[in-house]
Amino acid sequence: MAIISDYQEEEQSEASNAGASASSKSETHSFSADFDTSNPRDFLRKVFDFVAQTSDFFQNDAAVEEVVSIANAAKVKAAAKTAEKKKKEVEAAKEKAAAAERKKKEVEASKKDAAAMEKKKDQESASIGKRLTLFQL
């Protein structure tokens, strides 16, 4: 659970933007509420109650539309953030898979090199053996 107390600036700017024509008097009010991530509606209810009690924001006919617009913008921003996070995870997984593939190819190349060297040693040993046999004759 988090305690949210830094919303006074946002609340003030939203109230000022919406109610600027209705009220020329600007006041600052503090707002503090607990935010339970399992129940964000309760927090939002408290925010809207606070705004309704301390300003004339909701007297404006377009206030609800503005709130919906703000909520939609937050939703789009959150979706973009989630998509970006997933994109980074996919890129990291692809890079990890590519690194594993490179390592696998390196191991296979090392095995081929080792096999080629072993074959060469066997051929040299066989050649030396033939020479010794010929020398002994």
pLDDT tens digits, 22-45? 445 788 999 999 999 999 999 999
- The answer to the question of residue 73 being in a domain is no
- The answer to the question of residue 123 being in a domain is no
The predicted structure's pLDDT at residue 54: 94
Pick from 35, 25, 28, 22: nearest CA to 10: 28
Task: Give the count of domains, the chain.
Answer: 1
pLDDT in tens, 41-58: 999 999 999 999 999 999
Q: What's the pTM? A: 0.51
How many angstroms from the chain centroid is the CA of residue 16?
A: 33
d(CA 83, CA 65): 27
d(CA 73, CA 128): 82
- The answer to the question of residue 27 being in a domain is yes
The predicted structure's pLDDT at residue 119: 84
pLDDT band at 8 (very low <50, low <70, confident <90, very high): very low
- The answer to the question of residue 29 being in a domain is yes
- The answer to the question of residue 121 being in a domain is no
SS3 of residue 3 by DSSP: strand
pLDDT in tens, 83-108: 999 999 999 999 999 999 999 999 99
Helices marked H in the chain — which ranges? 8-19, 40-54, 63-136
Residue 9's domain comprises 1-60
- The answer to the question of residue 8 being in a domain is yes
d(CA 115, CA 118): 5
